[in-house]
Amino acid sequence: MEDNLNQMKVWVSSALGILTGFWGWMGWLAVVWVVCMVLDYVTGSMAAVKAGEWSSKVAREGIWHKAGMVFIVVLMALADVLLGIVLDKLPVINIPFSGIICPVVLVWYILTEIGSSAENAMAMGAPLPAFVLKALKKAKDLTEKAGDSICEDNEEAGRDDG
């Protein structure tokens, strides 16, 4: 039995190592986001069933909402790739940031999904300390400010006043 457990640990560790090598840290960020989206959809459906308000139309709208988010993340990843190519191949264009748009968007979406799932769980009757929702909102606001500062700071740096 213990040999089977150790063998399973080796396989899981190897698989996670391979995936990390393939995806890197941003791949795991995307995995966390997908898990959070699924949890939000499930908890939202459960809360609606508990309240007697479940509707297939509303459920479909939720799926469309999630699909739109997937497209946004793909577009932001493409924007990061484009900016990386521009920085590498066109040094005459000065873009002082690259590879940061998609991760910031993913973190913002993850925090949104966690907050929504927590609200859904509360609607099902689970208690949650008030500071948790405040902390999630603060983290989401700080993430948005970080994203804004990428552009604001670089607009100032990129100006040619001479």
In angstroms, the CA 72 to CA 140 distance is: 17
What is the tens place of the pLDDT at every residue in 101-146? 899 999 999 999 999 999 999 999 999 999 999 999 999 999 999 8
What is the tens place of the pLDDT at every residue in 40-97? 999 999 999 999 999 999 999 999 999 999 999 999 999 988 888 888 777 777 666 6
DSSP 93: S
pLDDT on residue 155: 46
| Residue 41 within a domain | yes
Locus of tokens 């100032």: 156
Q: Which domain holds residue 39?
A: 24-158
Higher-confidence residue of 10 and 67: namely 67
Q: How many CB atoms lie within 10 A of CB 136?
A: 17
SS3 53: coil
| Residue 115 within a domain | yes
pLDDT on residue 159: 41
| Residue 133 within a domain | yes
pLDDT on residue 154: 47
| Residue 1 within a domain | no
| Residue 18 within a domain | no
| Residue 11 within a domain | no
Structurally, the chain folds into a number of domains equal to 1
What is the tens place of the pLDDT at every residue in 144-154? 998 888 777 44
What do you get for the CA distance between the two ends of the chain, in Å? 74
In angstroms, the CA 31 to CA 25 distance is: 10
> What is the pTM (predicted TM-score) of this model?
0.79
| Residue 150 within a domain | yes
| Residue 9 within a domain | no
Mean pLDDT for the stretch of residues 17-27: 77
pLDDT on residue 96: 65
